[in-house]
Amino acid sequence: MIERTGSLRAARFFLALAVLAGSGRVWAQSAQPEAASGFAPRPAVTSAGFMVVTANAHATDAAAEILQLGGNALDAAIAAQWVLNLVEPQSSGIGGGGFMLHWDAAHRRVSAWDGRETAPRGAGADFARRPDGTPATFAEILATGNAVGVPGLAAMLEAAHRRHGKLKWERLLRPAIRLAENGFAISPRLHQLLRDDSLLRLDPAARALYYLENGDARPAGEILRNPEFAATLRVMGASGASAFYNGEGADRIAAAVAQRRGALTAADLHDYRPIRRHAVCGPYRQWRICGMPPPSSGGIGVLELLGLLERSQLPPDPGTAAAIHLFAEAGRLVYADRARYLADPDFIAVPQRALLSPRYLDRRARLIDPRRSMGIADPGELPARHSLADDDAPELPATTHLSIVDRAGNAVALTSSIESMFGSRIQVDGFLLNNQLTDFSLVAERDGKPVANRLQPGKRPLSSMAPTLVFDAGGRLQAVLGSPGGSRIINYVARTLVALLDGKAEPAAALALPHAGNRNGATEIESGRGSEELVRELESRGHTVQQVDMTSGLHLIMRVDDRWVGAADPRREGAARGE
């Protein structure tokens, strides 16, 4: 039975949340919010024309439909994104944000589009504190209005479409509208995530859509229709993204967030603006790697990690203990710098050039001992405008990624997210709102020093999303890739690049490589993929080893002999298609 009064619903929700938080169940779940749902290697796809790789076959087909109509890579990415919102609602969508790299083949230009959520004007650094002033845990805020940032994905995609698009905006929404109205079969992965989530069924709208009357998740294979989402897209198709950020829809979002004690208002939605930034590009051996600048740490993190490895004697086989040791040690240094120096550049002076300068990389690389782990790394010493403390945001891995190359050679790498699985668990008009403010540090300062990634009104939280483009020495596009995975994304993308560029691995083999990495703590090995001998050898070098689920969603397109090869991560249900 669904209660009729909003106040009673809210009271019951917070009671349930308090019980779960007290028991530790929410934190245990959110530590790996998009849990593994199987490992099924699939062959790569080759094409001389276009290539699409997304996290779901429905989205891949939507992108292909647009490309077959004469649309370009950006058009196809928009169509695929709204389908992904529908078929994997746990990961991304209109209620969240994202980062996108666009390659304009005719003008040989990379554009970096920032659609990251912003903190509402009424939010403060105490967003993660209890009423008595004591610090709240992540579990206590992940499914509350306090965690909801101003969504940016729709505004970013529309702004990019005005500059790069080819087909009409309205046409790009039709595949998702059609699928929402006609329905799609719930995938085994979506069913598993719905089944295992403790909080989504507490939201009345989400419960009605995704669960049976007894509270069980709708079974895999059942046809799911979402007419509310179709209606939302129809309005946005007719009136543009402004329909989402203004009017009755914005009022409904603000009211839903306020009911869960959040600060977001309709005025915050009205005021949101995406940003076109300069991509972070740098050398790795004979290639040029381009990534996303802050407020994502992805571009800087990947380039710094590769720069450190280039200065080490990295073995060609990335699966050996010696290679994993060096990769993990480089990761320690990168994540130490990330926690200290990276944040929204409109609020903090980010030392981007200093972190990637050859002299700095030389100095940091000398700290790596090929025989022995350094343990917890300290951030490097850099000239800073202010003395800063380290970030403690958990940054959880409920995200998606798509890679597209069209017939003209234009490309898109888009990573988007609503933060933890199913975001804030607040559903409005057929979609879920993010809980992206949990990507800010839960503590604003330490020992009197401010944290760079502390929450401030209008600020964008730090991310690790790493949409990436690779170019050869002549400037020709070689690869398009990226992954979900929270703060592990940097390691996922960098390790894949090492396997491709140094190890000469085939695209599908590179994505199937067992994950390993270090985020300046324990060295993580993908559960079930590391041998006892590998673990023993790493431990003999001083590593504390943890074997954990590492649910990436890498989607890769690579040029091989003047043809495009597309490969999807075997850990999820992605699909590649070319023509």
Tokens of 172: 């790009």
Q: Indicate the pLDDT class of residue 30, thresholds 50, 70 and 90.
A: very low
Q: What is the pLDDT of residue 131?
A: 81
Q: Indicate the pLDDT class of residue 234, thresholds 50, 70 and 90.
A: very high
- Check whether 28 has a pLDDT greater than 70: no
Tokens of 486: 């929270």
SS3 448: coil
- How is 48-115 classified by DSSP, letter by letter? SS-EEEESSHHHHHHHHHHHHTT--HHHHHHHHHHHHHHH-TTT--TTSEEEEEEEETTTTEEEEEEE
Which residues are part of the catalytic machinery? Answer: 399
Number of helical H runs and strand E runs in the chain: 21, 23
Q: What angle do CA 389, 391, 393 make, to 5 degrees?
A: 160
Q: What is the pLDDT of residue 442?
A: 87
Q: How far apart are the first and last CA of the chain?
A: 50
Q: What is the pLDDT of residue 530?
A: 78
How far is Cα of residue 291 from the mean position of the Cα atoms in its chain? 13
C-alpha 418/C-alpha 94 separation (Å) is 9
C-alpha 409/C-alpha 411 separation (Å) is 6
C-alpha 519/C-alpha 75 separation (Å) is 36
- Check whether 23 has a pLDDT greater than 70: no
Q: What is the pLDDT of residue 462?
A: 97
- Check whether 11 has a pLDDT greater than 50: no
- How is 203-241 classified by DSSP, letter by letter? SHHHHHHHB-TTSPBPPTT-EE--HHHHHHHHHHHHH-T
- Check whether 1 has a pLDDT greater than 80: no
- pLDDT tens for 58-111 read 999 999 999 999 999 999 999 999 999 999 999 999 999 999 999 999 999 999
Q: What angle do CA 177, 91, 118 make, to 5 degrees?
A: 95
- pLDDT tens for 301-312 read 999 999 999 999
Could you tell me which residues come within 8 angstroms of residue 499 by beta carbon, excluding any fewer than 6 positions away? 318, 505, 509, 510, 513
SS3 419: strand
- pLDDT tens for 416-450 read 999 989 999 999 999 999 999 999 998 888 888 89
Could you tell me which residues come within 8 angstroms of residue 309 by beta carbon, excluding any fewer than 6 positions away? 326, 327, 330, 494, 498
Q: Where are the domains of the chain?
A: 1-379+388-514+552-579
Q: Indicate the pLDDT class of residue 18, thresholds 50, 70 and 90.
A: very low
C-alpha 468/C-alpha 258 separation (Å) is 37
Q: What share of the chain in percent tops pLDDT 70?
A: 92
Higher pLDDT, 22 or 351: 351
Residue bearing tokens 């993010």: 434
Which H or E run includes 7?
helix 6-23
Higher pLDDT, 2 or 160: 160
Q: What is the pLDDT of residue 27?
A: 33
C-alpha 498/C-alpha 500 separation (Å) is 5
**Peptide bond between residue 295 and the one before it cis (omega within 30 degrees of 0):** yes
Q: Indicate the pLDDT class of residue 212, thresholds 50, 70 and 90.
A: very high
Q: Indicate the pLDDT class of residue 387, thresholds 50, 70 and 90.
A: low
Q: Give burial (CB, 10 Å; 0-12/13-18/19+) of 162.
A: exposed
Which H or E run includes 172?
helix 169-172
C-alpha 299/C-alpha 287 separation (Å) is 15
Contact 114, 295 (CB under 8 A): yes
- Check whether 277 has a pLDDT greater than 70: yes
Q: What is the pLDDT of residue 17?
A: 47
Q: What is the pLDDT of residue 36?
A: 57
- pLDDT tens for 487-523 read 999 999 999 999 999 999 999 999 999 999 999 999 9
Q: Indicate the pLDDT class of residue 383, thresholds 50, 70 and 90.
A: confident
Phi, psi of 490 (to 5 degrees): -55, -45
Tokens of 388: 């800063």
C-alpha 516/C-alpha 519 separation (Å) is 10
- How is 492-555 classified by DSSP, letter by letter? HHHHHHIIIIIS---HHHHHHSPPEEESSSSEEEETTTS-HHHHHHHHHTT--EEEE------E
Strand partners, 548: 526
SS3 411: strand
Q: What is the pLDDT of residue 127?
A: 83
Average pLDDT over residues 112-137: 89
Query: What is the number of other CB atoms lying within 10 angstroms of the CB of residue 384?
Result: 15
Q: What is the pLDDT of residue 396?
A: 56
